[in-house]
Homo-oligomer: A and B are copies of this chain.
Amino acid sequence: MDVTRTSLRLTAAAAHKAVGAAVEKAIELGVAVNACVVDAGGNPLAFLRGDGAFLPSGNIARDKAYTAAGFNAATGAFFEALVGEPAVLAGITGQPGVAAFPGGLPIRADGELIGGIGVSGASAEEDEICARAGLQAIGLSEQ
Contacts and interface: CB of A to CB of B under 8 A. Distances in A.
Interface residues of A, number: 73
Given A16-B16, A58-B44, A60-B95, A9 B10 contact: no
B4 A10 contact: yes
Given A42-B56, A56-B66, A63-B95, 20 more contacts: A1-B138, A3-B109, A5-B51, A7-B9, A12-B53, A16-B23, A16-B48, A41-B55, A42-B43, A42-B55, A46-B47, A54-B72, A55-B70, A57-B70, A63-B91, A87-B89, A87-B101, A88-B101, A88-B124, A90-B94
Interface of A: 1-17, 19-20, 23, 39-51, 53-60, 63, 66-67, 69-72, 79, 83, 85, 87-101, 109-110, 114, 124, 138-140
